[in-house]
Chains A and B, each alone.
Chain A
Amino acid sequence: EAEVAQSPRYKITEKSQAVAFWCDPISGHATLYWYRQILGQGPELLVQFQDESVVDDSQLPKDRFSAERLKGVDSTLKIQPAELGDSAMYLCASSGTDSNTGELFFGEGSRLTVL
């Protein structure tokens, strides 16, 4: 069964360091999402790609976060420098259809702890 792959599953870093997360969506899925999930809260959208183009990054803290999907397939989310408040689960999801009626497929997430 096709899955969304994410790595690393766990990352512990010190504040001010750089971290990066990788996501490989389900093959053929044009839309890719990065969400942040703080413990006890629902996922919040950070950035949404349609193929290699960003269609929504309004909630991405652009002073420290960046995301790219250069060839419209896999994607990288970077944080530099990391802050204590960035500790969260970072979720990647993909969709092959219009998200209004389609289904998002999530990876298992990357849990970040900033010390």
Chain B
Amino acid sequence: GNSVTQMEGPVTLSEEAFLTINCTYTATGYPSLFWYVQYPGEGLQLLLKATKADDKGSNKGFEATYRKETTSFHLEKGSVQVSDSAVYFCALSSASKIIFGSGTRLSIRP
């Protein structure tokens, strides 16, 4: 069946560091891929998405590229801020069903 595997946390970085959170997926067909973010005390919200191979999703300085050959959708940011501290979820959508990874908690030190 379809599944999403993402990097275990927690991840702790200093402000302005480079961030990568790995995500790989298993799916039949051609899923859409998403990153959702959950800030403390808030609901999940969409961060970025990509709907086909080689698409790059971007938002708030974050980027992720849909790599079909490696079945990956890694999240990157060049310079993180304290305000990026949150839990990040990789997700895929196939046949109108959305499956989430287990989440990666990110903490940024000032």
Contact = CB atoms under 8 A, between A and B. Distances in A.
B32 A106 contact: no
B61 interface: no
A100 B51 CA distance: 8
B43 A106 contact: yes
Contacts of A93: 44
Given A41-B103, A42-B103, A100 B96 contact: yes
Contacts of B89: 42-43
Contacts of A67: none
Bin the interface of chain B by size: 20 to 34
Contacts of B41: 108
Q: Is the interface of A mostly helix, strand, loop or mixed?
A: loop
Bin the interface of chain A by size: 20 to 34
Contacts of A108: 41-43
Interface in A93-113: 93, 98-101, 103-109
Interface of A: 4, 33, 35, 40-45, 48, 55-56, 91, 93, 98-101, 103-109
